[in-house]
Structure 1
Amino acid sequence: MTASETPVEIPSLPGLGTTWYRRGPRYWLRRALGAAAWLAVLAFCAYIALVLYGSFRGALPPGVRRVWDWAQVAASVVALVWGWLVQRREHRRRLLDPPGPDEFRAAKRDEHRRSTGLAVAGRVLWLVAAPVLPASAAWAVGWSVAAFTVRAYPSEVGARRRLEAHNGHPRTS
């Protein structure tokens, strides 16, 4: 690199800052804390799902209740695996064309804007979906665990590729 060339500053990624570049202890701490916070929220949602399911379940006759419970167990196991597979496939697809830091931020902003309306509609859906909430919660758990157990997030791969392409270094990921 000549004196006239200046390296590009390492971009800060949401949730990871610039720790993604070195992947040291601070990086893994940030990833672990992010996953723990998300899984705590998910555990609360699963608890609410089970409470609502319990209120629906109480209205069923005892014979139907037992059959419905076993159907929920089976559906929940299938949903857990399905959530895992959906997330892993999406992760592989996003790694083929990972977003750069600016693209990632823009996508996150759009995602937050779209989710505001869904939050209001979601409150009503919780009540309507009470009979299948355990399976829905299991799907979300499978999806989330798969999302947090990847080697690198697509946003990291995209940022690293763009940084290395700009600085003239060969790709490592």
Structure 2
Amino acid sequence: MHRTRLAVGQLLLTVLVGFFAGAAYSGFADVLPPTARVVAGVLEVVGSCVALVWGWRSTRKQIREKLLNAPTPEQSWRNMRASRSRAAGQAAGGRWIVLLAPLLVPLVAYLLGMVCASAFIRELPSEVGARRALGQEA
């Protein structure tokens, strides 16, 4: 249930960011001449398709590597705590996205590929590590 709520939340966030990216790209494309607008639109579609597959594949590869060397429950806890402390730096780094309007749509497609890949896994690496740790104690 927790994993489902997490996946739905990430998907909703990705959709919201996608709407923002679409609006930003629309504002960028409106100032282009008609021919350039068509070329830019085709490049956006192709770039988005490539980014979607790239995001999916890279996330699946990371998950596969983490499953081979699954963390113990203590390591999972430390990793979760360490990732939460970096939130302020990640939020400040997001300001540059506004300047990259033409790249926003492919970036959102990459993010969507990552979210979908992580949503459709059978077990999280932390779950595998916890199961292994319980098996070693028994």
TM-score tier (shorter): over 0.9
- Alignment match, 1:161: 132
2:98 corresponds to which residue?
127
Cα separation, 2, equivalents of 1:121 and 1:81: 24
**Which secondary structure state, in structure 2, belongs to the residue aligned with residue 98 of structure 1?**
coil
Counterpart of 1:162, as a letter, is A
Give 1:114's aligned residue.
Answer: 86
- Report whether the alignment pairs 1:62 with 2:34: yes
Q: Structure 2 unaligned runs (5+)?
A: none
Matches within 5 A, 1:1-173: 29-123=1-95, 125-167=96-138
Residue-by-residue CA offset, 1:29-49 (whole Å, 9 max, x unaligned): 332222111111111111111
Q: Specify the code of the residue in structure 1 equivalent to 2:65.
A: R
SS at match of 2:85: helix
Q: 1:159 & 1:91 partners in 2: Cα distance?
A: 16
Deviation of 1:118 (Å): 1.9
Q: Deviations over 1:92-124 (max 9, x none)?
A: 10011111122112112211212311211212x
SS at 1:38 equivalent:
helix
Q: What is the Cα-based RMSD across aligned positions, in Å? A: 1.0
The one-letter amino acid of 1:99's match is P
Consecutive aligned runs of 4 or more in structure 1 exceeding 6 Å deviation: none
Task: Give the residue type in structure 2 aligned to 1:130.
Answer: A
Q: Which amino acid aligns with 1:127?
A: V
Provide the TM-score with structure 2 as the length reference.
0.95
Larger helix share, 1 or 2 = 2
Structure scoring higher RCO (CA < 8 A, sep ≥ 6) equals: 2
Larger Cα-atom Rg: 1
AA of the residue aligned to 1:58: D
Please name the residue that 1:12 is paired with: none
CA shift, 1:52, in A, is: 1.0
Aligned residues: 138
